[in-house]
Structure 1
Amino acid sequence: MGTGLTATRHSRIDDVAGTGELFAGAPLYESPGWLRYCERLSGGRMTYLVARDEHGRPVGLTATRIVRPGQVMALYDLGTLFDDPKPAALYPNVVSAVSGSHWVDRVLPGIDPAPVRAVLGQELAEGAAELGCTAAAALYVGEMDSARQLSVAMGGSPPFVFAAQTVLTGQWSGFDGYVASLKRSRRNKVRRELRECRESGIRISVHSGTKALGEDTARLQVALREKYAVGGSVESVLADYEHLRATVEDRLLVFRAERDGRLLGMSIALLDGDRLHLRLVGFDYAQELAFLYFNVLFYAPIEWGSRNGMTSYAFGTGSYPAKLARGCVPAPLYAVVRWPDADRAVCEERARAHEKALIEELGIGDGEGNS
């Protein structure tokens, strides 16, 4: 490609030598600790693509994994874009994304990112072909320029809006500052949701690390999964807690909602500088919860964050109306896909329909600020 860059592949982040400078200042979802967590979560199915300069120095990195039906959450499965039957050639495929709905885009500071992304995009497509996969994708790409660079390198279809990160930004000195930032009608609803939750006798406590996680919280997470027909078991959730403890223990916060000593709800958040990522929740649906969802996912974390130097909160993808109503702003996340040749036309049509429906729901024009 005329840049002097080459690419190598690695199955463990700890096998990639000389990355200290590359990871300096990395956000949570691109940190070595989080990538180790993703390795554990995937059962060893991760592959890291590393761009190297003419001296062999790592100058860029992204993360991929092979996807077969039923092996990943719907968030990372291209098949969720389609009704059944899905295109037969879609599986297996290779996806570049990590837990947290994030595309890893580590580029050494001071290096032009465009040729680095070009090398990594080409390596993604070539690696997929070598594995016998007729589809490859980079999901949750945060910038359209990056997505276009990847599309050219991968020989992919045009990028499309795949999802949106919902972000709440505010440097408040207390929870009242957050409430004051909302529209008047929403302020009254938030105050009512807070009041009714507290008057029902529910109290929410905050804990650092995984010590507040156990079978009681795992049961609530499984209950939520069952409500939405997502598989899981107490044992698998407890295993996930162990993965978190081994990799990102120092970044973890747990919010526990209890009434009369009984756990009714919980959420897990992760610290990322002055940003708080809200990730997992669980509830005891057999009990009267009195707006507990909003309290344990939104209000308790915002109240804690406003007293502890947080200036932004990331609430993830999905459930957009509830998040936007509570002050979040949607940041488009793009997908770049090299579809199976035999199904390319129908896949591109489905991608366009997905994007159209999503941007209408989010009110973000075409995803680039154009209405």
Structure 2
Amino acid sequence: MTTTETTQVVRADGLDAAGPYWDGLPHNLFSSANWLRTGEVLGGTPARYSVVQREGLPSSAQVTWRSSGEMWVYNDPVALLRLGAAELEGHIEENAAAEVAELAAVVEQAAQELYPARISVLPSGYRPGLVVGSAHDVPLLFDDLEKDGDPTTAVMHVGEEDDRTVALLRERGYVGMAAAGDSVLEIDPAWGGLQDYAAVERRRGKRVRQEVDAFRASGATIREVDVAALGARHAELHSAHLRRYGHEATEDSSRRLISAIQQWPAGQPLALEIVRNGTVDGFLVAYEWGGELFASMLGISPDTPYGYFNLIYYEPIRRAVEVGLSRIHFGPGTYQAKRQRGCTVRPLTSYVRVPERWEATVARLASLLDTAYRREMGAVGG
């Protein structure tokens, strides 16, 4: 006698509705319930949770959002294409930059035909919205992603080691561009402290000593605090830091993020502060999950000498070595500085599928941008 396995995809809008299906899935930090709860609160709209059930039990799932252009640019493929080479100065050749500008202008004009977009992504984590317990579920999740007929569908920030997912997306007509990378430092279990990390490479050792000594000479120190201690000063530092990098940010939005982190802590939070002359001059919130540390929320005054490098790199490395963690994820951006400090940059490719009439334009634009972003990461020559 044979039996046929019962398989279905259950949809739920918002984590409250998805809760009964969410437990028991093989979560990472960014798909954990508290992390997603924070993302929904800050995003102002619930995500869609699609759960593959086999014989009534959750097997795999996908988190998706519907965007009409209001999402964070690195989580919205249409917005990324419209952005063109605006953040790639020095990493794109002149001829390519001119072609990118022309193609991005075409996409800008076509935006009304490309939105709304249904996007598979985990908030604030640079990860696809996939929570995979069985590889056999992935085609079902992609079917669900495309089911409603949105003009654009996308799966963001796929790691290059995920060969099966990449192959499935390409078979379905998706094109990719690696607009972000995860900067990862592998912690050698033989290291006994920061001095061993610094000694791996001569220039690194000189740099670490110089930056740690200058930081200490300024009178600054770093201390660990409870996330409950984060408040108005931290919101001020966070929003100012984002604005220095050209992002729209307000102290109110930073306060809401801090409040959400305090209400729904994910993983094992680590909060560090720089204190100088009795004033908090910087802070970092990172999360431990599965023996790894993930740097997340940051706010820092530019006035403390080498405060950034001591807070972001050296203190987390010191603590990771002490407790025996295997790696630290420093996330995207400032790739050269991260490579200089021992990180490997892992490109994360976002895959997008658009209406047929725009396929050639998007494919060419994505290819040009992919090359430039990879050059920025150091993943290609130039």
Structure 1-normalised TM-score? Answer: 0.87
Asked whether 1:313 is paired with 2:313, we answer: no
For 1:165, the equivalent position in structure 2 comes to 182
Deviates more, 1:71-80 or 1:192-201: 71-80
1:158 to partner: Cα distance: 3.6
Indicate the SS of the match to 2:222.
Answer: strand
- 1:93 maps to what in 2? 117
* Partners of 2:371 and 2:380 within 8 A in 1: no
Aligned letter for 1:74? Answer: V
Match of 1:65 in 2: 65
Counterpart Cα distance in 1 of 2:353 and 2:10: 21
Residues 151 and 355 in structure 2, CA contact (< 8 A), matched pair in contact too: yes
Q: Retained in 2: the 8 A contact 1:162–1:354? A: yes
- Aligned counterpart, 1:214: 231
Are 1:233 and 2:250 matched, yes or no? yes
Offset at residue 249 of structure 1 (A): 5.7
Shift of 1:39: 2.1
Alignment CA distance shift 1:162-1:117 (3 Å) = farther
1:266 aligns with 2:283: yes
Identical residues among aligned pairs (%): 26
Which digits, 9 at most, give the CA deviation of each residue in 1:235-283, with x for residues without a partner? 1111111211222166221111111111212111111121111112212
88-97 or 357-366, which deviates more = 357-366
Structure 1, unaligned runs of 5 or more: 367-371
**Displacement of 1:73:** 1.9
Q: Indicate if the aligned counterparts of 1:11 and 1:44 stay in contact, CA closer than 8 A.
A: no
Task: Answer yes or no: is the 8 Å Cα contact 2:178–2:373 preserved in 1.
Answer: yes
Residue number in structure 2 paired with 1:48: 49
Contact kept, 8 Å, 1:267 with 1:279, in 2: the verdict is yes
Amino acid in structure 2 at the alignment position of 1:145: R
2:25 maps to what in 1?
22
Does residue 188 (structure 1) correspond to residue 206 (structure 2)? The answer is: yes
**Which string of whole-angstrom CA distances, capped at 9 and with x for unpartnered residues, describes residues 103-129 of structure 1?**
133233xx4x1x3110101110123x2
- Give 1:1-371 correspondences, 5 Å limit: 5-16=7-18, 17-23=20-26, 26-53=27-54, 55-69=55-69, 71-78=70-77, 79-82=79-82, 83=84, 85=105, 86=108, 87-88=110-111, 89-98=113-122, 99-108=124-133, 111=134, 113=135, 115-127=136-148, 129=149, 133-142=150-159, 143-152=162-171, 155-170=172-187, 171=189, 172-181=191-200, 183-208=201-226, 210-248=227-265, 251-285=268-302, 288-364=303-379
Distance in structure 1 (CA, Å) of the matches to 2:242 and 2:72: 12
Residues 211 and 306 in structure 2, CA contact (< 8 A), matched pair in contact too: yes
Give the 3-state SS of the residue equivalent to 2:10 in structure 1.
Answer: strand
The whole-number CA distance in structure 2 between the counterparts of 1:356 and 1:250 is 35
Tell which deviates more after alignment, 355-364 or 187-196: 355-364
CA distance in 2, matches of 1:363, 1:260: 39
What amino acid is aligned across from residue 277 of structure 1 in structure 2? Answer: F
Q: Which secondary structure does the structure 2 equivalent of 1:315 belong to?
A: strand
Look up the SS of the partner of 2:233 in the other structure. Answer: helix
2:30 and 2:125 in contact (8 A); partners too: yes
Alpha-carbon distance in structure 1 between the residues aligned to 2:9 and 2:34: 23
CA contact (8 A) 1:138 1:336 kept: yes
Alpha-carbon distance, 1:139 to partner: 0.3
Distance 1:139 1:4 in 2: 29
What is the CA–CA distance in structure 1 between the aligned matches of 2:168 and 2:267, rounded to whole Å?
35
Tell me which amino acid in the other structure corresponds to 1:291.
Y
Check 1:229–1:19 CA distance in 2 against 1; reply closer, same or farther (3 A cut).
closer
Q: How large is the RMSD of aligned CA atoms in angstroms? A: 2.2
Shift of the alpha carbon at 1:217? 0.7
TM-score, normalised via structure 2 length = 0.84
Cα distance in structure 2, aligned partners of 1:256 and 1:197: 13
- The 1:92/1:104 distance shift into structure 2, 3 A limit, reads closer
Gaps of 5+ in 2: 85-103
Q: Separation in 2 of the partners of 1:162 and 1:250?
A: 27
Structure 2: distance between partners of 1:81 and 1:293: 31
Q: When the two structures are aligned, how many residues end up with a matched partner?
A: 347
SS at match of 1:364: coil
Deviation at 1:325, TM superposition (A): 0.9
CA displacement at 1:300 relative to structure 2 = 1.2
CA offset digits 1:175-231 (Å, max 9, x no partner) = 1121122x21121011101110110111111123x2231100110111112212211
- Matching residue's letter, 2:195: D
The CA deviation at 1:138 is 0.4
Q: Residue 94 of structure 1 contacts residue 137 of structure 1 at CA under 8 Å; is this kept in 2?
A: yes
Q: Work out the CA distance in 1 between the residues paired with 2:185 and 2:267.
A: 23
Q: Do the aligned partners of 2:204 and 2:340 also contact (CA within 8 Å) in 1?
A: yes
Question: What is residue 369 of structure 1 aligned with on the other side?
Answer: none
Once structures 1 and 2 are overlaid, which stretch shifts more, 346-355 or 8-17?
8-17
Change in Cα spacing, 1:47 to 1:151, as seen in structure 2 (3 Å) is farther
Q: Deviations over 1:291-344 (max 9, x none)?
A: 111111111111122212222100011211111111011122122211233321
Deviation at 1:364, TM superposition (A): 3.4
